[in-house]
A and B are shown apart, each in its own frame.
Chain A
């Protein structure tokens, strides 16, 4: 361990920006003339870095090393150069300058099901796709049953994949890829496909792979899976490598960048969302942490406060205010309502602000959306989805540094030894 297996030295990559796309006003004549000119020009100026062409730098002087056995995340907004970097590492395209080197058997997975042919059967596609991904025939055959089993398509192995449901197709495609056996694995956003159950399965498999001591470079927009799988992380921005280091540090930085300043935890809901003649009841939402600072980032187990701005119609003193928390797949996880607990909240007509305080938010680390709704006599008078997205970051909630939490929620639990008061005991233990 500790030896570099991926070495990227000063890599830059430029693309020519199509001239057609940039010119706004063109006549047919110009286009025709351009058609004559362009092939001639590109034939004659092939290798000159023509100043007349606009170039787009997808990567600029990227420089890093990844050591054997490291599982590294690669994050950045769309167009930051993540895929280009993976393509260079996989030899699909060449860097314009610099060099990228990898030691050992590499498999790159930029897409699931590359080379799948609709007319071929599941069996045939497994063999073909295996060969395309760099598996030897005997390896594919050896793992054939495992692949079919993982994909759950036993009954359809000899059916052309065009008859498969899209779910089956994806499962089969991922199954082949999941049984690759490389030393270095490059993965691009493969986890973003399929339904939730399938994504879990992929994530589980990725976790296994990363624990087998392989070197993995993983691109994903899902920061939670990056945090779950990786120890190291690279952050790209506009083709530059901004940061390389410990994963939580980088994801925190990245969240700060994409979410802008923390005051974006305060959202004013404009009038544009209301239909004509309808009253806009929910006017704003502000998220606060326990110190009263506006934020979108809460430590696990910390206090969570949501201040909701309202503009209530007359006779709205019995209005019901609903705060929904959903996961990234829009699945409702929790609902908070004002009449559910404590004394009834006194509401009145007109502008006002109410606060919903959750002393200990029982969600584990991840990203969550907030939705708001106001009901009056069981009628929904206003509703907004995904007002704000907030993050729960890992935190030693029980203050004992004894490891992280899995699952979507947590609760305090107490553990002790008990006497066998009820006569329920393990027969095996009794025999002794």
Chain B
């Protein structure tokens, strides 16, 4: 829902439409987001479209950046393990060539 609102303002009906959820369920979710100050609803228009506050964009961006950092760390450890596997293999081959016991 947050991802949908990130693309542009939408009414509760529009938010419920593509998914197999009731308008009531969406309304409840929007109320929670509104109470948290993450979403605002314009009062004047009949449609009352929901609007995502700017800080949520920042939050999403920072989530993804943090997650990316974590994944990067994990993959750098994987780099090290892969490099280790190679040097282990080379070491074993070297030992075999020299006929030394491992």
Specify whether A and B are partners: no
